[in-house]
């Protein structure tokens, strides 16, 4: 898939105000500072589609982007935000949960994790919640350019072994780097494949 157009549609905290369309939707979420905005900009070949920041917790709304006029990319707030109040955390948690529970257009979520770190309880808990609520998702390992190939392999294997303690099989996953465009083709091909099934059904 080639992304020919990517346009901002709407930002809000109210799931009921998300676009009322039948287009398939793909949501990107992860801990603060995992490289989500950079990944979205890399996938869409746009420098500033999603606002990047050195300060964790920059995304604080549900952001919808219309891609190629036929699907929505959704940029969700990070969980585990470093510099927001407890009240703000509760608000975020509430509308993230509402988004996943209510949004019928959601085809798949992508949970981003930094490949350099060992599995974090907050990520594993979130994946568990997604599994319990039967929400399809893939894992995206980010920042792969920061490690050598063997280290990438070791980190992924360590992640898989921890997941298999509570999952029957490892969820679908991708290895990416926003700066080196690693994983771009695979990720867009995956979305394209799902979209084509969606269109033919």
Say what the pLDDT of residue 166 is: 92
pLDDT band (50, 70, 90) for residue 56: very low
Selection from 73, 77, 107, 72 nearest residue 89 by Cα = 77
What CA–CA distance (Å, rounded) separates 44 from 14? 25
DSSP 50-79: SPP-SSTT---SEEEEEETTTEEEEEPPPB
Tell how far CA 84 is from the center of its chain: 21
Q: What is the mean pLDDT of residues 141-168?
A: 96
Selection from 66, 98, 93 nearest residue 78 by Cα = 93
Q: Are 135 and 105 in contact (CB under 8 A)?
A: no
Which architecture characterizes domain 6-200 according to CATH? 3-Layer(aba) Sandwich (3.40)
Selection from 95, 133, 93, 127 nearest residue 112 by Cα = 127
pLDDT band (50, 70, 90) for residue 13: confident
In this prediction the pTM is 0.91
Return the percentage of the chain with pLDDT > 70, whole number: 89
Say what the pLDDT of residue 48 is: 84
Cα–Cα distances in angstroms (integers) from residue 166 to residues 121, 124, 153, in the given order: 13, 10, 21
| pLDDT tens-digit readout, 165-183 | 999 999 999 999 999 999 9
Cα–Cα distances in angstroms (integers) from residue 105 to residues 82, 141, 167, in the given order: 30, 25, 26
Q: Domain coordinates of the chain in residue numbers? A: 6-200
Between the two ends of the chain, the Cα-to-Cα distance in Å is 19
Say what the pLDDT of residue 80 is: 64
Selection from 62, 66, 90 nearest residue 76 by Cα = 62
Say what the pLDDT of residue 91 is: 59
Q: What is the mean pLDDT of residues 140-149?
A: 97
| 74 DSSP β-pair partners | 27, 64
| pLDDT tens-digit readout, 65-93 | 999 999 999 999 877 654 555 665 565 57
pLDDT band (50, 70, 90) for residue 34: very high
Label residues 112-133 b or e (16+ Cβ within 10 Å = b). Answer: bbbbeeebeeebbebbeebeee
Res 122 pLDDT > 80: yes
| 8 DSSP β-pair partners | 65
């Amino acid at each position: 898939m080639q992304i020919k157009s990517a346009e901002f549609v709407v930002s809000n905290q109210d799931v009921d105000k998300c676009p009322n369309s039948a287009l398939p939707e793909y949501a990107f979420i992860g801990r603060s500072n995992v490289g989500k905005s950079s990944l979205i900009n890399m996938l869409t070949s746009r420098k500033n589609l999603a606002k990047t920041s050195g300060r964790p917790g920059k995304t604080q709304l549900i952001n919808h982007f219309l891609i190629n006029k036929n699907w929505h990319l959704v940029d969700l707030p990070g969980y585990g935000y470093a510099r927001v109040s407890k009240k703000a955390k509760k608000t975020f948690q509430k509308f993230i949960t509402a988004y996943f529970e209510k949004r019928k257009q959601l085809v798949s979520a992508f949970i981003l994790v930094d490949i350099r770190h060992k599995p974090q309880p907050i990520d594993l808990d979130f994946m568990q919640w997604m599994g319990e609520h039967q929400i399809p998702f893939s894992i995206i390992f980010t920042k792969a350019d920061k490690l050598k190939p063997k280290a990438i392999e070791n980190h992924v294997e360590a992640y898989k072994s921890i997941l298999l303690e509570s999952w029957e099989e490892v969820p679908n996953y991708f290895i990416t780097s926003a700066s080196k465009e690693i994983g771009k083709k695979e990720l867009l091909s995956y979305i394209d494949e799902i979209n084509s099934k969606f269109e033919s059904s």
